Structure 1
Amino acid sequence: MTVTKVETNMEVEIPDRIALTFKDQNILITGGTGFLGKVIIEKFLRCLSNTEQIYVLVRPKKGKDPNDRLEEIFNSALFEKVKEQKGLTALQKAVTVINGDVSLPGLGLSAEDRKTLCEKINIVYHAAATVRFDELLKRAVLLNTRGTKQMLDLAKEMKQLKLFAYISTAYCHLEEKILGEKPYPPPADPHKIIKCVEWMDDNVVEAMTDKILGNYPNTYAFTKALSEGLVEEAMPQIPAIILRPSIVIPVWKEPVPGWTDNINGPTGLLIGAGKGVIRTMYCNENSYADYLPVDIAVNAILASSWNFIYHKDHEKRVYNLTSSNEFKVSWAEIIARGRKITEKVPLNGIVWYPGGSMKKSRLLHNICVLLFHMIPAYFLDSLIFLAGYKPMI
C-alpha cells in the first residue's frame, strides 16, 4: 500500500509506514464488540489487510456464542463498505474468535487457546472495559482492573510480543489540572484492591464504595486509574504503552459519517433533548468539552503504535489522544447544532417539543428539574400505568 506524491512532474512512491508496521502481524483485540473495538476491527480489515490474522476475545452473551456475536458485528452498517470491497467470506477468514472473558479468572481461556495466543500474537489492543459510570465497584474492579492484570500476565507469556497497548481514558486523573503524557501514581494499590473485592461479599464492597473511591466521582475513573498503575508496573517487562482518548463520539468521516451504536456522552444528551425529555442541564454553556471522533481515535491509536514499534521509542510510553486546544467546541454550540438538526429531521418518539437550556445557577436548574422533568414524568407515567402498561418515564 503506497501513497503517490507529485513533485516537479515526477511521481514519487512513498511507502505506507503504518501498513508496513502491521504487515504479517498477528493482532489480539479485547473489547472488539464495543463501540471503539468495532471501529478498530473495521479499520484493520479495510486499510490494513496485510496483517496475518486478527484475533478477537469475545464472551458468550444473552445465549449467543462468540461466533454468533461476531456475525452480528459484521452485519452492522459500519462494515458495509469493507464487505463491498472484499466480501463477507474474506472478513470471516481474516478474523478468528477466541472464546474468553476478561472478568473471569484466567480470562476464561482454554489451555489450547492460551497456547495459541502465547505462540502467535505480536500486538495486543486491550480495550475491554465497562464504561458505565454507575457500575458496581466489585464488577468494575474485576472487569477493568483485574481483567487488565490478567491480560498483562498473558502478555508476559507471549513469545513474539512487540506491543501491548492499553486503552485508558483522559479522565482517570481528575486531580491533575494539566494532564501530561506521563504515568501518574494510582489512587490505591491495585493488587490490594483486587484482593479486597475478590474475597468480600458484594454488599460489603458496596457499603465501602464511597470510602474506597475517595475523591474519585465514579467507579469507571477509579478502576481505569488503577489499571494504568498495573500497566506502568509491567513496562520494564513488556513493550507496553498507555493510550488516553477523551470523550469518544460518533464517526466523523470514515467509513460511515455519523455512525454510532450507543448513546453515551453528548450523543445521549442530544437525543434526550431532541425527544423533548431533557429540558435543563446544570452546566456552563461557554465551557469546552474535549471530544474525539471514533475514526480519529482509531487513527491516533494506529499512529501511536507505529511510533512505538518503528522508532523503538521506549521512552515515550503514554499518549494523550485528545482534541485539547486544536478544536474547541462549546456546550452552547453543540446544543445549537443539535437543535438545527432536529428541526430539519425530527426524531421519532418525541414526548415534548425539543428545547431546554443550560443553567449556571444550581437553584434555577433544580427548580426546572422539578417543573419540567419530575412533574411531567410522574404525570405521563400515571397515564401509562392507567392504560395498563409499565411506567417508563
Structure 2
Amino acid sequence: MPADEIPQFFYKIPEIPAELTHIPDRVSKTLEGKTLFITGGSGFLGKVLIEKILRKTPNVNKIYLLMRPKKGKDSKQRIQELFNSVLFDEVKKRHGKEIINKVSPISGDVEAEQLGMSAEDRAFLQKEIDMVIHAAATIRFDEALRKAVLLNTRGTRQVLELASGMTNLKLFVYVSTAYCHLDQKVLMEELYPSPMDPHKVIKSCELMDEELVEKVGEKILQGFPNSYAFTKNLSEAIVTEYINKGLPIIIVRPSIVIPTWLEPLQGWTDNINGPTGLLIGAGKGVIRTMFCDNTGYADYMPVDICINALILAIWNYLGNGDTEKKVYNLTSNSEWQVTWKQVIDIGRDIITHDIPLNNAVWYPGGSMKTSRLYHQICVILFHWIPAYFIDSLIYLSGNKPILVKIQDRISKGFEVFEYYANNQWDFNNDNLRSIRHKMNPREKIDYKLDGDGMDLQMYFRDCILAARKYILKEAPETIPRARQHMKMMYWVDMMMRIAFFSFIVWLIAKWVAPIKTLFAVEI
C-alpha cells in the first residue's frame, strides 16, 4: 500500500438480494410487540444486542434497561449517552432518531439488594414484561471476590426472583460464559452441577466484609482461576434451580467475544479486552513477550455473530416451539480455529506494514515464549527496564510518567491470560448448529451464524482500523505519518539490536582473553 494512502474498511453490512426480499423474516416477527427487560444493556454485548433488535425489529413494543447512576449521571442521562455512540448511527438512519424512544431506563443496580429498584418499578415490570435478557455481570477477572459474588451470583438470583413474578413471561435468557465449567475439557450443551452451594456462598459474602472474604478467597474459589469463572459457575446452578421449577429459561454461553465482523460497524468494540488489547499493546511496542503455547487456540466469537446466535436461540424457543433445548454454546472452534501465533503474526503484519498506531514507543516485535524463565528474563529486559528508563526521561522533561503503570497493568493481565492461553478447551454446539437448518435464505443473511466468507487478515485489519478510530481516537488521516514513524522505529530497533549484540561480543571477548592467558602454555 502506498505510504500516503488512507485505508478503508474491507467488510460491509450484508444486503438482502432483490430476489430474496419477498421471503419473510420470521426471526424478527418473534420479537414484534414484545416488551423486554434487559440487564447489562450498557455493556459491550448489551449495546450490540439492543442495536440489532431495534434495527431488525423496529416494531418491538418496548425495551426497559436496568441502569444505575454512574459518575454523577442518573439513569436517563446514561441512556442518552448510550445512544450517542456511533454504534447506533445505522439504526437511526434506517428508522429515524425517534426509534430510541423505544428504550427507557429503570433505575436500579444488579449488585444492590432487591436490585436497588422501587416497589413501583418492580410491580410495573412484573405486569408488563414478556421477556428478560439477563446479561449484567462484572467481567473483570481480577474483581474482588465479594463484589463478584454479589453482582454476578446474587444479582442473577434476584433477577430470577423478579422474573418469577412476571405474569406474562414468555422467556428468560441468561447470558453465561463458555468458560465457567473449566473442569470440562469438552463442554457440552448441558446443565452441570456446581461444586459449591451458591446460596451458602452468597450468605457468607453478605455476612463478611471484603477484606475477610479476600483472606479466605483461595479456599472459597476451590481451584477456580478467578472470581469471574467461579461466580458464573454458581450462577448457572441457580438458573438450573429455576429451570427445574418450570420457569421458561434458556442459557447462552458465549466464548471470547471479540469486535464486530459485519454489522452495524466493522471491527467495532468499546474495550481493549482480549485480542484487541494484545494487538494494541504490541502495536504500541509495549508488549514484547508472552508466556504461551503458541500452537494453542482460544474460541472466538465476533460480537455481531454472537448476538445473532442469541436472537436465533430465542426464535428457536418461541417461534419454533423447541423448548427442550435449554443450553446453547455460542462458540466457533468446532468449525474453525485460530492459534495464538496466528493472532500475533497477523496483527504484527498489519500494524507494521499497513495500519500502524500513532506514537509507538518501539517497533512491534517480540514473540511468545514456551519457557517461563526465558519469558521472565525478557519481561525484565524488554518491559521493565525500558519502562523505567523512558519514564525517567518523561519525568525529567516535566511530564507525568506513565509507562511503569502501564507495565504493571500488563503484568496483571498476563496472570489472567496465561491460564487460558496455556490450557485448552473445546465446545460442542450442536444445539446452535441445528438452528441453521430451520432458517430460510433471507434469515441466513440477516442473522449470519457461520464464519463463511471471513478472511482473517482482513477481519483483523478492520479491527485494528476500528481500534484506532473508536478506542484510541486516532484519525485515519494520521496513518501516513504513523507509517513514517514506524519506519524510523524499525531502524532505531535495528541499530539497538546491532549495538546490543556488539556489546555482548565485546563482553565475551573481554572474558575470553584473560582465560586464554591464564591457560596459555609455552611450547
Same fold, TM-score > 0.5, yes or no: yes
Q: Does the Cα contact within 8 Å between 1:138 and 1:202 map onto a contact in 2? A: yes
Select which of 101, 108, 112 maps to 1:100: 108
Aligned residue-pair number: 386
1:375 is the counterpart of 2:385: yes
Q: Does the Cα contact within 8 Å between 2:79 and 2:104 map onto a contact in 1? A: no
Query: 1:351 & 1:142 partners in 2: Cα distance?
Result: 41
Q: Which moved more, 1:307-316 or 1:364-373?
A: 307-316
Q: TM-score, normalised by structure 2?
A: 0.72
Q: Deviations 1:330-370 (Å, cap 9, x if unpaired)?
A: 11111122112212121124211111111111121111111
Select which of 63, 66, 75 maps to 1:57: 66
1:152 maps to a residue whose letter is L
Distance 1:313 1:274, change over 3 A: same
1:144 is the counterpart of 2:152: yes
Q: Deviations 1:62-109 (Å, cap 9, x if unpaired)?
A: 001111111111111111111112222231x21111111100001011
The match for 1:364 is: 374
The match for 2:282 is: 273
Query: 1:211 & 1:124 partners in 2: Cα distance?
Result: 34
Query: 2:72 & 2:358 partners in 1: Cα distance?
Result: 30
Select which of 165, 173, 184 maps to 2:173: 165
Q: Does the Cα contact within 8 Å between 1:187 and 1:222 map onto a contact in 2? A: no
1:203 is the counterpart of 2:211: yes
Q: Does the Cα contact within 8 Å between 1:4 and 1:13 map onto a contact in 2? A: no
Q: Does the Cα contact within 8 Å between 2:54 and 2:99 map onto a contact in 1? A: no
Which of the pair is proportionally richer in strand? 1
The match for 1:216 is: 224
Q: What is the CA-CA distance between 1:389 and the residue it aligns to?
A: 4.2
1:118 maps to a residue whose letter is Q
Query: 1:219 & 1:193 partners in 2: Cα distance?
Result: 12
Q: Does the Cα contact within 8 Å between 1:279 and 1:355 map onto a contact in 2? A: yes
Query: 2:202 & 2:295 partners in 1: Cα distance?
Result: 40
Query: 1:60 & 1:341 partners in 2: Cα distance?
Result: 40
Distance 1:300 1:24, change over 3 A: same
Q: Deviations 1:111-154 (Å, cap 9, x if unpaired)?
A: 11111110111111100000000000000001100100000000
Q: Does the Cα contact within 8 Å between 1:4 and 1:14 map onto a contact in 2? A: no
The match for 1:331 is: 340
The match for 1:178 is: 186
Q: Deviations 1:136-188 (Å, cap 9, x if unpaired)?
A: 00000011001000000000010010111010000011110110000111131
Q: Does the Cα contact within 8 Å between 1:288 and 1:328 map onto a contact in 2? A: yes
The match for 2:362 is: 352
Q: What is the CA-CA distance between 1:5 and the residue it aligns to?
A: 8.5
Q: Which moved more, 1:308-317 or 1:259-268?
A: 308-317
Q: TM-score, normalised by structure 1?
A: 0.95
The match for 1:225 is: 233
1:30 maps to a residue whose letter is T
Matched ranges for 1:84-95 at <5 A: 84-91=93-100, 93-95=101-103
SS at match of 2:260: coil
Distance 1:285 1:4, change over 3 A: closer
The match for 2:195 is: 187
The match for 2:140 is: 132
* Residue segments in structure 2 that go unaligned for 5+ positions in a row: 1-15, 404-523
Query: 1:12 & 1:130 partners in 2: Cα distance?
Result: 41
Query: 1:123 & 1:48 partners in 2: Cα distance?
Result: 15
SS at match of 2:297: coil
The match for 2:75 is: 66
* Residue segments in structure 1 that go unaligned for 5+ positions in a row: none
Q: Deviations 1:279-318 (Å, cap 9, x if unpaired)?
A: 0011121211110000000000000111112233332111
Query: 2:363 & 2:148 partners in 1: Cα distance?
Result: 38
The match for 2:257 is: 248
The match for 2:441 is: none
Q: Does the Cα contact within 8 Å between 2:146 and 2:213 map onto a contact in 1? A: yes
Q: What is the CA-CA distance between 1:385 and the residue it aligns to?
A: 3.5
Query: 2:54 & 2:79 partners in 1: Cα distance?
Result: 14
Query: 1:229 & 1:313 partners in 2: Cα distance?
Result: 22
Q: Does the Cα contact within 8 Å between 1:135 and 1:219 map onto a contact in 2? A: yes
The match for 2:33 is: 24
Distance 1:12 1:95, change over 3 A: closer
Query: 2:236 & 2:75 partners in 1: Cα distance?
Result: 28
| Identical-residue share of aligned pairs (%) | 58
The match for 1:300 is: 309
Distance 1:5 1:316, change over 3 A: farther
Higher relative contact order (CA 8 A, sep 6+): 2
